[in-house]
Amino acid sequence: MSVFKPFSPADLIVTPFEVDKTFTFKGNELTGSNVGIERYIGKNLQESLWVSGSNTTGQTSLENQQLIYDSIKQLYYTNYLDSPSGSSVSTASFESTTFVPDFTTAAILGVLTGEQNTTNNYNYLSSTININRTFPTESNSEIGAISIPSNLFGEYIKPGSFFLTSVSGSIIDDTEGNLLFSSSIYAVSNRHVGNIIYEHGMAIIISESFGGYGSFRNSFYSFIDNNITCSFKSNITLYEAQYKCTARPNEFLFSQNPSIISGSNSCPEDITSTLYNFATGSYFTPYVTTVGLYNNDKELVAVGKLAQPLDMSDTTDTTILINLDL
């Protein structure tokens, strides 16, 4: 009998499962070195192709406001610039006429009319049911961007878990990618003010969604400063590996526990004569308390402890299941 027994392919089952964790950061905690939740203001400055180092934005790293605006517009709103529910598809048509200069040749002439471009960008939609991608395109329009690093949200922010509070009120997500603003100060409830891209950890707030100028409009800026609290749930997929350790009736029936050796025999080289009588009977079977997993180099990589000793059987298979979360 060998101490080691290799696994067969049928002895290993890998099962994925999703887990989540709640995070809450307040004030200066957002810009901590182990957090790094960045906040930007993007602005449609309509600059030339040359972007200067001025007009910067950011809490921990500085970026140009126009670049923030253009990047968010390109990634998340290119299909929704004409309408919050989506721009119209291409309706171009080709009007042809046949011109016959003589009886031996013919030419087909035509004019292409109507919209010739189509909306074929991928804008990371969270739902196709309740789409509202309002985006401002006027000069000096402002947007706010709250960027959560991937080392915090994992694979994506869990829908329905994003919560942002400021002195003006609170913003939550509706599980479909929309951000809703509520405030007892301004007597508003579930007002659409932006979108959240769950898989990118990006919350986008539209300044114009807060209305015109004045104190209500200033609510937009209150969600970009340091006096906010940001909560969300991360999501990550773990893989549980289940190892089926099976001992046949003729395997692992000799105990390696030194307690079965009396040590009183005068001939220590004769190991069979040093066993206690209870260990020499035909009905004796050892107990298992620990299972070790080894790699191909016979190096111990994991140890499993049983809750109580398990009696090995000499008449049927003994199977121990080991679950590892990877």
Write out pLDDT tens, residues 1-21.
346 888 988 899 999 988 999
Q: What does pLDDT average to over the chain? A: 84
Q: Per the structure block, which two tokens stand in for 292?
A: 């070790």
The answer to which of 107-121, 183-197, 298-312 has the lowest mean pLDDT is: 107-121
- Other Cβ atoms less than 10 A from the Cβ of 110: the count is 11
Quick check: helix, strand or coil at residue 43?
strand
Quick: pLDDT tens for 214-264: 567 788 999 998 889 999 999 999 899 999 999 898 888 777 777 777 765
Beta bridge partner(s), residue 171? 164, 181
Q: Which helix (H) or strand (E) holds 325?
A: strand 318-325
| 275 phi/psi in degrees, rounded to 5 | -75, 145
Residue whose pair of structure tokens reads 């598809």 in the numeric block: 89
Q: Measure the CA–CA gap between 271 and 299, rounded to whole angstroms.
A: 28
Q: Per the structure block, which two tokens stand in for 226?
A: 């340091």
Q: Residue 228 CA to chain centroid, in angstroms? A: 23
pLDDT at 264: 57
